Structure 1
Amino acid sequence: MGQQTANRILKEKIERWQQKPQSTQTTTAKPTQETDGLFSEKGVEYTRLRDLLTALFR
C-alpha cells in the first residue's frame, strides 16, 4: 500500500470517528499528565492522538 493510500484511509477513519457521538464522562476528575497524558519533551500533548489511533485500530 502506498503512502498516499494509507494517508487517505487514515483521513477517512478520522473523519468517521469525528462524526460519531462522543460519550460523556460521568466523573469530574481530570487525568493528570503523570498518570494518563502522553507528552513530548517539548510539552506537546499527544494523548488525544493516542486515543484516536487506539479507537481506529480496535
Structure 2
Amino acid sequence: MAKRKAYPLRLDPQLYAAIEKWADDELRSVNAQIEMLLKEAAKKAKRYPPKVKKET
C-alpha cells in the first residue's frame, strides 16, 4: 500500500462537529470522512485520479 501523507488541518469547530456527526452516521472516522469528501470533490472537478501522460 502506498505511504499516506500526514497533514495537519485546522477546522472551524462547528464544521468539525458537523463532519464528526456525519462520519458517525456513516460508521467512519472523521479522518476517513474528510478524505472521502475530498476525493469526491476532486473526482467531480475531474482532478482525481491525476491523468497519466502517455509516452509515444
TM-score (norm 1): 0.30
TM-score (norm 2): 0.31
Q: Which structure exhibits the higher relative contact order, with contacts defined as CA atoms closer than 8 Å and separated by 6 or more residues?
A: 1
